[in-house]
Structure 1
Amino acid sequence: MPLVESLPVRADTAQWSVWGTVARIVVTDPARLAEATDLVKAELAAVDRACSRFRPDSELSRAGGRPVRISPVLRDLMAAALRAAEETGGAVDPTVGGALCGLGYDRDFASLTGRTAPPSVRIFPSPDWRSVRLDEDGLELTVPDGVLLDLGATAKAVTADRAAARVAASLDVGVLVALGGDIATAGPAPDGGWQVLVRDRPGDPSCTVRLPAGAALATSSTAGRVWGRTGELLHHIVDPRTGRPAERVWRTVSVAAFTCLRANTLSTAAIVAGRRAPELLRDVPSRLVGRDLDVRRLGGWPS
């Protein structure tokens, strides 16, 4: 899915700007589009209240230093983030919020456009997802003092999964929900499957794939969310080992799976893995675009 949206908007389609990207939904019954849009927007609003690090009134912003009771929404988001961290050996780590702030990503991404962040002199704890505690019931969250959480690597994918499932269950339709590069589907697919254009920026290599009902696709990019800091250009995928943006071995990594969370976990981990990404994804349907725009397909990704 292009991160710069250029696809047609038909009677079965709605799209709007959110979280510094584009939300897009497609339904198999155009008569249910307005209802589906309302359901997706409600899901987006609930997630924003739960885990935005740019809202002082979000649940996530209030967590720190002592156990706090959390909502079922934040419980699901935190559980997903910690599971992704464990499955990737810490490559996808929700405790990189401090590192991102230190790099200048300390406000909503739309506010970074055209801004050059000054060098940071603030000191943040090294990322370590194991320092965060979610109790057995998932109702109490403990974040150590000084640790800033950022769920950006997983929350958008979980939201796509949640929103698609909610629309399909509530309206009995097939639906595709795309939040930037995170795409989830639920319910019956159109004849021939969901057609998805895979491309990051205009002029990049592109291809169209067909997703079966219930499939998901995620694309992680080192070119999509970038901003300037004195003397350098930065991107938003942090390598927890260094607290710096991951080396730009890959321009984009796209992964297909049966949840968007799983697809995004692997695509983000592959960006962090750099040259080791093909080993990580060797059995996974995936498409890697290098810095020089060469394309590598793995795991049965169609040619």
Structure 2
Amino acid sequence: MEPLEAGRATFGTERFPLWGEVATLMVTDPDRLSAARRAVDQVIADIDAACGVHREDSDLARVHAGAGRPVPVGATLHALLWTALHAAEVTGGLADPIASGPRGAWRSIVIDEPQGTVTLPPGTALDLWPMATAFAADRAAELATGQAGCGVLVSIARNVAVAGPVPTTGWPARATNGHREVAFSQDVVLRVPGGLATRNLTAPQRTPAGGRGVPHAVDPRPGHHARGPWRSVSVTAGSCVDAGTAGTAALASGHDAVDWLRSVGLPARLVHADGWVHTVGNWPADPASPA
């Protein structure tokens, strides 16, 4: 990864509204844009059916409604839950998918793959949306490059996934909190497949289906939503899921975020509440970094 410069390449590009934001699809072969878009739409439909924020008939809404007993769910929610629980495990609970309920309740979630069911502890609600958007970007990019037969970039809700052949100029990407916070963004170039994800404490809260609005990060140590000096954390990793997990964990670490990110060896960009930037690892130099 490096700063965005004046390199030029011809991409097929499409931007479209998705989940209250604007998604971007780019392909190295403009003639394969339609094939890639069909693949992306397939993944979006699967995620929406699994845990769509405003869908009362989603699998996640039914799991919330049936808390305390096994609820049949589809393969997408199964995979998403496994991913979220793994993220919680590897971060020591810093990337906690629980929106309401006792801290550590994620350990009591039962996923029965042979029976195709999920059991949520009574009195517990999940917030899978930040993980779901990262999961969607990764899966959409992989499926699109397979079906289109070319390099693909998919950007969904501050998650940028790259799959397949990378153009010689690299992929243009942005570490951003969203269009309302352009001043805190940085344009970069991605030169290897993987993911860039930004997690923050300033984005509008989403309401999980059947749950309540929560920020991206929950600090399990004091047992309340994360508060700290950083307004956002952007991370690059082998996937958007891994990058987003690290960003969430860093925010939950509060004042220890920089040390935590150094411990896992991932390039990162942290935006302070006062607007200045601190970078970790080989993240490219940022004009907003203190001298």
Counterpart of 1:302 (choices 281, 284, 290) is 284
Shift of 1:171: 1.3
- Given that 2:175 and 2:196 are in contact with CA atoms closer than 8 Å, whether structure 1 keeps it comes out as no
Equivalence for 1:231: none
1:197 equivalent among 174, 183, 201: 174
TM-aligned CA deviation for residue 185 of structure 1 = 0.8
Counterpart secondary structure, 2:54: coil
Deviation at 1:70, TM superposition (A): 2.3
Gaps in structure 1 of 5+ consecutive residues: 1-9, 99-123, 228-233
**Is the Cα–Cα contact under 8 Å of residues 223 and 235 in structure 1 kept in the other structure?**
no
Cα RMSD over matched residues?
A: 2.2
Partner of 2:210: none
**Per-residue Cα deviation, 1:69-98 (whole angstroms, up to 9, x for no partner):** 3221111111101001111111112221x3
Correspondence list, 1:259-298, <5 A: 259-282=239-262, 283-298=265-280
TM-score by length of 2: 0.83
Q: Greater CA deviation, 85-94 or 236-245?
A: 236-245
* Of 278-287 and 36-45, the range deviating more from structure 2: 36-45
Name 2:111's counterpart in structure 1.
134
Change (3 A) 1:199 1:153: closer
Q: Check conservation: 2:201, 2:217, Cα contact below 8 A.
A: no
CA displacement, residues 155-214 of structure 1 (integer Å, 9 cap, x when unaligned): 111111100000011110110001121111111111121121323344524433221231
Question: Paired residue for 1:47?
Answer: 47
Partner of 1:58: 58
Q: d(CA) in 1 for partners of 2:87 and 2:76?
A: 17
Question: After TM superposition, which residue ranges in structure 1, 4 or more long, deviate above 4 angstroms?
Answer: 124-127
Other-structure match for 2:27: 27
Give distance in 2, aligned partners of 1:294 and 1:163.
Answer: 33
Aligned residue number for residue 184 of structure 1: 161
- Tell me the distance in 2 between the aligned counterparts of 1:67 and 1:173: 41
1:209 corresponds to 2:197: no
How far, CA to CA, are the matches of 1:235 and 1:291 in structure 2? 19
Given candidates 174, 188, 196, the residue that maps to 2:151 is 174
Distance 2:159 2:176 in 1: 12
Q: Distance in 1 between matches of 2:232 and 2:272?
A: 7
* Equivalent residue letter for 2:283: W
- Work out whether residues 127 and 240 of structure 1, in 8 Å CA contact, stay in contact via their aligned partners in 2: no
Q: In the alignment, which of 202, 215, 229 is matched to residue 223 of structure 1?
A: 202
Distance 1:287 1:240 in 2: 20
SS of residue paired to 1:209:
strand
For the residue of structure 2 that corresponds to 1:281, the secondary structure is: helix
Matching residue's letter, 2:26? V
Partner of residue 156, structure 1: 133
Work out whether residues 92 and 153 of structure 1, in 8 Å CA contact, stay in contact via their aligned partners in 2: no
The TM-score, its normalising length taken from structure 1, stands at 0.80
* Partner SS for 1:92: coil
Would you say the 8 A contact 2:11–2:27 is kept in 1? no
The answer to whether the 8 A contact 2:53-2:129 is kept is: no
SS in 2 for 1:154: helix
Percent pairwise identity: 39
**Do the aligned residues in 1 keep the contact of 2:217 with 2:248 (CA within 8 Å)?**
no
Alpha-carbon separation, structure 2, partners of 1:186 and 1:90: 29
**Contact 2:13–2:26 (CA under 8 A) maintained in structure 1:** yes
